[in-house]
Amino acid sequence: MAPHLQRRGPLTDKELQELADAIDLNNSDIDEELLSEDDLDGDNLEEDLLDEQAFDDQDNPEPDDGFDSEDDLLLASLIPSHSEKWIRNKVFVPPNHMDSINYSGQVGRPSEYFQKYISDDFFESVSELTNMREVSETGHSLDTTASEIRKLFGCTMLIGIYSLPRLRMFWANSTRVPIVSDNITRNRFFKLRSRVKVVDDNRVSPEAKSLDRFWEVRPLLDRVQKVCRINERTSKVSIDEQMIPFAGQVTMRQFVRGKPNPIGLKNFVMATPTGVPLDFHIYEGKGSSVEPALLAVPEQLDVGGRMVLKLADTLPVGVSVFTDRYFTSIPLIDFLSSHGITLAGTIMANRIPKSASLLPDNELKKKERGSYDHLVRDDGKIILMKWFDNKPVNFASSCIGVDPEGTCSRWSKVEKKRVDDKQPAVVKNYNAYMGGVDLLDRVIGKYAMRNRTNKWTVRTIFHFIDFSVAAGWLEYRENAKAAGLRRKDIMDYFDFKLSVAKTRVLENQDQEDIESEEEVQPGNKRRSVQPIPDKRCRLQGNTHLVEFMKGKQKSRSKCRLPTWDKLTFAKCKSCGVFML
């Protein structure tokens, strides 16, 4: 590959024409918006957030630009599209946005929303693949069925809902939960959970295994992702990171400081402001490719920028994307703008061009809270702003500027009351539309299926089952609001997930009976065993008195003391336990 030329400054018209003739570029190619390498400034690394450190050692893959010659790419990257001048007090005119999409208002049952993501054929496939795996490894089949696999996942959902300190307590005599213990035994639960399989290893080639680190769960990921991509797009979307908690040993494991679950598998998610997922991509770690399928990636973009382009493949023209400072950069905004998509978000200080002379942090702190300084690029397409709240925050936007300026309520330590501070429009819109992925995370984590396991495949499968339930509830809630239902008539997430879990476990009962019953009576009833009271409890007071059963052979039972197993007529009045 030819070395990069070290030319500085814009080219003359004559030089531009010579370059165009030499590499056979037309005028539209010459006007391509690419920034010079001077846009990245590494002098202010101490201001970066700590949660981006997990990607510092990421190697950027070679760009796929579509040129036949590598020399052509290097020469084309030297052609500037503008003079990179930033003007204070210049008017920023945002582009037109697409209209928001309204929900249909048709409210279905909880199981219908879940089956939209995970249909019944998935459980049939899992049962077959699990049996095949057991036969190939041990020579004996587990003889599991689709019904039993549905009960496995349903009981796992219930375990996350009830959330006892230890998993085995769901089957213990003193703490058992009947809807779980009466439908699947403890040993069978652990056996199936450790053997669950969603892919046929024999049908995956060694080349595919080497290229895809998530090949063991890829069928489930593709199934959920396919449904996410057909969800209705809104005019505002957000892209953010999502962590799948896992502390075991695996190549794809990441560490992101500051997250609620800092260790685990990283999932990049695109969602609506109300949390409905539109697309996602699991990060495979260092050396993996994050190239978009439809767009050629400029070489100035890092992993975060490339991930935004990959998720933006399915967005229509006119959508505004909101990102945090890990993703936002000037080259990314320019590239998305050339394809009809705008972006707004916080930006790192070292990604602000040197030619943009925003006020220093110390000068902005001397002013009142809510003060800001902004610059508009000479072409009027991008605005940079520094806003002082608790600390200075940098913004970059191509979709909205500082007008119309609003206010926000903040607590003043000096005045001992809440006061109104100035809030630019870009800050207000960022706060309103950036929290979609965080909302989805909070819903997933509320009653997550996080029973302890050392297998990353099991953890990933459970996460995307929770992902599907949470996405279904968020969509159900939007449909219920559109239908005009009262707030008290809309199911909360607890009732929604409980209904989905019961439907999986008690599949032989009618759906309306499952949703309406307050106390579930399992189909397989077993005689409950009364635990033996503590000795100190039995000797206190006069409540634990012996009652002798009068001469009825059917009334007697074995003594519950561990040292005596003969039949007895003596029974405790309070505990109902037979003892000699």
Read off the pLDDT of each residue in 226-242 and give the average, rounded to a whole number: 92
Domains identified in the chain, total number:
3
Tell whether 360 is covered by a domain. no
Backbone angles phi, psi at 568, to 5 degrees: -145, 150
- Percentage of the chain beyond pLDDT 70 is 71
My answer on whether 128 and 276 are in the same domain is: yes
Tell whether 237 is covered by a domain. yes
Identify the burial level of 514 via C-beta atoms within 10 angstroms of its C-beta, where 0-12 means exposed, 13-18 middle and 19 or more buried. Answer: buried
Gap between the terminal Cα atoms of the chain = 91
My answer on whether 252 and 122 are in the same domain is: yes
My answer on whether 64 and 118 are in the same domain is: no
My answer on whether 137 and 79 are in the same domain is: no
CA gap 307, 301 in Å, rounded: 10
Identify the burial level of 187 via C-beta atoms within 10 angstroms of its C-beta, where 0-12 means exposed, 13-18 middle and 19 or more buried. Answer: exposed
3-class state of residue 417 by DSSP: strand
CA gap 410, 370 in Å, rounded: 10
Sign of CA dihedral 423, 428, 434, 438: positive
Tell whether 475 is covered by a domain. yes
3-class state of residue 420 by DSSP: strand
Judged against a pLDDT cut of 70, whether residue 530 lies above it is answered with no
For 190-211, how does the pLDDT look when each residue is reduced to its tens digit (9 = 90+)?
999 999 999 999 899 999 998 8
Extract the tokens encoding 14: 């004559």
The three state secondary structure string of 212-226 is: CCCHHHHHHHHHHHH
Q: Which of 60, 88, 116 finishes a domain?
A: 88
pLDDT of residue 525: 47
Q: What is the mean pLDDT of the chain?
A: 78
229 close to 279: Cβ distance less than 8 angstroms:
yes
My answer on whether 488 and 562 are in the same domain is: no
Judged against a pLDDT cut of 80, whether residue 90 lies above it is answered with no
449 close to 160: Cβ distance less than 8 angstroms:
yes
My answer on whether 31 and 71 are in the same domain is: yes
Judged against a pLDDT cut of 60, whether residue 8 lies above it is answered with no
pLDDT of residue 159: 94
Sign of CA dihedral 478, 483, 489, 491: negative
Q: Which of 56, 88, 120 finishes a domain?
A: 88
Tell whether 425 is covered by a domain. no
Amino acid identity at 273: P
Q: How far is CA 535 from the centre of its chain?
A: 51
Pair type for strands 342-346 and 320-323? parallel
3-class state of residue 407 by DSSP: strand
Extract the tokens encoding 221: 């990921």
Structural domain including 35 reads: 13-88
My answer on whether 53 and 193 are in the same domain is: no
Task: Identify the helix (H) or strand (E) that includes residue 228.
Answer: helix 218-229
| pTM as predicted | 0.73
Read off the pLDDT of each residue in 438-447 and give the average, rounded to a whole number: 93
With vertex at residue 146, the alpha carbon angle to CA 140 and CA 149, rounded to the nearest 5 degrees, is 80
Amino acid identity at 496: F
Identify the burial level of 234 via C-beta atoms within 10 angstroms of its C-beta, where 0-12 means exposed, 13-18 middle and 19 or more buried. Answer: buried
My answer on whether 54 and 159 are in the same domain is: no
For 254-300, how does the pLDDT look when each residue is reduced to its tens digit (9 = 90+)?
988 878 888 999 999 999 999 999 999 999 887 666 666 555 566 66
Q: Which of 181-185, 379-383, 413-417, 571-575 has the lowest mean pLDDT?
A: 571-575
CA gap 424, 427 in Å, rounded: 6
My answer on whether 135 and 246 are in the same domain is: yes
Tell whether 338 is covered by a domain. no
Task: Identify the helix (H) or strand (E) that includes residue 86.
Answer: strand 86-88
- Percentage of the chain beyond pLDDT 90 is 38
Tell whether 198 is covered by a domain. yes
CA gap 52, 326 in Å, rounded: 6
My answer on whether 119 and 263 are in the same domain is: yes
DSSP 578: B
380 close to 404: Cβ distance less than 8 angstroms:
no
At 214, the pLDDT band (50, 70, 90 cuts) reads very high
pLDDT of residue 391: 85
Selection from 300, 377, 342, 292 nearest residue 83 by Cα? 377
pLDDT of residue 97: 57
CB atoms < 10 A from the CB of 296, how many? Answer: 13
pLDDT of residue 146: 93
CB atoms < 10 A from the CB of 97, how many? Answer: 14
For 454-485, how does the pLDDT look when each residue is reduced to its tens digit (9 = 90+)?
899 999 999 999 999 999 999 999 999 988 88
My answer on whether 200 and 113 are in the same domain is: yes
Selection from 332, 277, 345, 271 nearest residue 306 by Cα? 332
Q: Which of 88, 121, 143 finishes a domain?
A: 88
> Distances from the Cα of 335 to the Cαs of 47, 381, 382, 479, in angstroms?
26, 12, 12, 35
At 37, the pLDDT band (50, 70, 90 cuts) reads very low
566 close to 580: Cβ distance less than 8 angstroms:
yes
β-sheet bridge partners, residue 386: 373, 394
pLDDT of residue 526: 53
Tell whether 469 is covered by a domain. yes
pLDDT of residue 103: 59
My answer on whether 231 and 83 are in the same domain is: no
Judged against a pLDDT cut of 60, whether residue 453 lies above it is answered with yes
Tokens 């007697």: give the residue.
556
Tell whether 386 is covered by a domain. no
CA gap 402, 390 in Å, rounded: 19
pLDDT of residue 62: 39
